[in-house]
């Protein structure tokens, strides 16, 4: 089901990362990668 949702996104740039465990099992670089992605796509010059 999660992969169906991932495949449904129409973006050409998408990344799927899987980590074991709950929220405490997510490595810090995963959040950093997400922050860079959002900065790239949503921080637009004024």
Domain locations in the chain as residue ranges: 2-42
* pLDDT tens by residue, the chain, 46 residues: 778 988 898 888 888 877 777 777 788 888 888 888 888 888 865 4
The pLDDT assigned to 46 comes to 46
Instruction: For the full predicted model, state whether its pTM sits above 0.75.
Output: no
Q: What is the CA radius of gyration of the chain?
A: 13
Can you give the pLDDT at residue 44? 62
Two structure tokens written together for 4: 């169906």
The whole-angstrom separation of Cα 7 and Cα 23 is 23
Separation CA 29–CA 37 (nearest Å):
12
């Amino acid at each position: 089901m999660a992969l169906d949702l991932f495949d449904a996104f129409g973006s050409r740039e998408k990344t799927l990362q899987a980590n074991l465990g709950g929220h405490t099992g997510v490595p810090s670089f995963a959040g950093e990668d997400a922050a860079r992605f959002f900065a790239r796509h949503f921080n637009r010059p004024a």
